[in-house]
Homo-oligomer: A and B are copies of this chain.
Amino acid sequence: MVFEGNYFSSATFDKADFTPDSLICVDQSGIIDRVVSASDSDYQIVKQAAMDNDILKQIPKGSYLLPGFTDLHIHAPQWPQAGLALDKPLNEWLNTYTFPLEAKFKDLQYAKKVYQSLIKELLANGTTTGLFFGSVHTDANLVLAKVCAKLGQRAFIGKVAMDNPDQTPDYYRDESSQVALEETETFILKMQALQEQTNADITSVITPRFVPSCTDETLQGLGDLAKKYDLPIQSHCSESIWEDHYATERFNLRDAEVLNKFGLLTDKSVMAHGTQLSDSDLDLFEKTQTAIAHCPISNAYFGNSVMRVHDAYQKNVKIGLGTDISGGFSPSIYRNMQQAIMSSQMLQDSSQKPARLSASNVFYLATIGGANALHINSGQIKAGFKADLQIVQDQYFELSSNNSDEIFERLVYHTNKENIKQVYVAGNLVHDNRGEK
C-alpha cells in the first residue's frame, strides 16, 4: 500500500515534524519501506505504479497521517465502569466497584462482550498498541488476547497476580502464591501457542497488580518468570501517598526499591503512574531502564499529585502515556495528551519549577515514548517502522490559518473519535470511520 498526503511525526521531544506531499510506501509485512518526498526524482514513477496496482490511498485535503498511539496502561476488565464513582475515595472505589467488577470476568461470555467493546473503542481512538492488565483469570485473559488478534490491535497482556490476603478480597484473589505463579506460567505458555497459531502480535506480560496485593513469594516468583521467559513486566509504582507509605511500612524501602529487589525493574518494565517518585527513584528507573506510564487523567483522581514528566525526561527515564481505564475515565490518548499539558501547567504554578509540557512533548510521549517503552518499531512515520497509522481530519481546517504548527496544535487539542477516519496496525486497516458520516 502507498499513502499519499501530509504527515506529522515526532522529530525530537520538542518538535513534531510536518512533511507535506509524500508517498509512504508500506511493504507486505506491514513495514514502511520508504517515504518518498515530492522533490524525489522518482515520486511520479512510484505514484503511478501505485495507481496502476490500485494500492494508492490518497489522504484528503484537511486530513493528515499520524503515527498510531501506544497506550501504556489499561485495566481491560474495568472498561464497563469508566467514569463511574470517581469522586469516591480510592478504597471505596476499589472495594465497592472495581474488585467486584473484575471478579465477573470469570464469565467468559461477559469477558468477550466487554473486551470487544474496549478494543474497538481503543482502535477508534487511534490507539494501535495497548499494554493491558487483564483480570486474575487466565482464560478470560486469553479471550482478551483473541479479541485483540481478531480486531488487529497489537497487544501486551498480563494475567494479574494478587495473592496477599491482607490487601485483596476473598472473592477475588489468587488462592496462593503457588497458584498465582502457576497460572502466570500457564498464561505465558498459552499465549505463546496462540501467537504461533494466529500469528497475531500479542505478548504476555508479567503483572503483579502492585506491591501491596502480592506476597513476597509471588513478587520473587514473578521476577524469576520475567527472567526465565525474557518478558515485559508491568505494575504500579508510587501511584499515591498511601502506596508509598505501604512499601515503607512493610519493607522499610521505597516502592521502587521493593520492585527492584524482586527483579521487577528491568529495561522491559513499564510502571504506571509514579506520581510520588523521588529523585532517587527516578535515578533507579534510569539505571534499570524502567519506563513510566504517565496517566494524567487518572492521577487527578488517585495520584495525590502530578507526575514530574519534565524531571523524568531530563533524567533520561523512558516515559509514555496511559489512559488507565478506569482510574482514568477516557479511552482516548488525545484526551490524555491534553490533560498532561494542563496538569503540567498546574504543577509549574504550584511548584514554581519548570514543568510545562508542550503539544509536541506529549505527542512524543504518545508515539515514540510509548513505543520505546515496549521496544517496538512503532510511533514514527519513517522507513523501517511498522505502518501503525491514523488518518485524522482537522475539523477546523476551513476556519483557521493553516501553517503546520497551528494544524498540529489543532489536531492535538481538537481530535475526537469522529475525526479519526481510519486506523492501521502494521498496514492492516483496523478501523474505518469514513462511511459512518
Using a CB–CB distance below 8 Å, which chain A residues touch chain B? 79-87, 113-114, 117, 297, 300-301, 303-306, 329-330, 338-339, 341-343, 345-346, 349-350, 356-359, 396, 399-401, 406, 409-410, 412-414, 416-418, 436-437
A416–B416 CB distance below 8 A: yes
Q: Which residue of B lies closest to A406 (CB)?
A: B84
Question: CB within 8 A of A305: which of B85, B306, B349?
Answer: B349
Question: CB within 8 A of A409: which of B84, B345, B346, B400?
Answer: B84
**How far apart are A435's CB and chain B's nearest CB, in angstroms?**
10
Q: Which residue of B lies closest to A418 (CB)?
A: B418
Residues of B within 8 A of A357 (CB): 87
Question: With the chains together, A82 CA to B410 CA distance in Å?
Answer: 8
Q: Which residue of B lies closest to A113 (CB)?
A: B399
As for how many copies of this chain the complex holds, the number is: 2
Question: CB within 8 A of A342: which of B85, B301, B412?
Answer: B301
Question: With the chains together, A436 CA to B341 CA distance in Å?
Answer: 32
A86–B418 CB distance below 8 A: no
Residues of B within 8 A of A358 (CB): 87
Residues of B within 8 A of A329 (CB): 338, 413-414
B409–A79 CB distance below 8 A: no
**What is the interface of chain A mostly: helix, strand, loop, or mixed?**
helix
Residues of B within 8 A of A414 (CB): 82-83, 329-330
Residues of B within 8 A of A81 (CB): 400
B417–A345 CB distance below 8 A: no
- Beyond known contacts A114-B399, A329-B338: 6 more, CB 8 A cutoff: A82-B396, A83-B409, A83-B412, A86-B413, A297-B342, A329-B414
Question: CB within 8 A of A339: which of B86, B341, B342, B409?
Answer: B342
Q: Which residue of B lies closest to A302 (CB)?
A: B345
**How far apart are A80's CB and chain B's nearest CB, in angstroms?**
4
Q: Which residue of B lies closest to A414 (CB)?
A: B83
Residue in A345, A417, A436, A437 whose Cβ sees the most chain B Cβ within 10 Å: A345
A410–B346 CB distance below 8 A: no
A85–B409 CB distance below 8 A: yes
Q: Which residue of B lies closest to A304 (CB)?
A: B349
14 A-B residue pairings within 8 Å (CB atoms): A81-B400, A82-B414, A84-B410, A85-B409, A87-B357, A87-B358, A87-B359, A114-B399, A297-B342, A303-B349, A304-B349, A329-B338, A329-B413, A346-B346
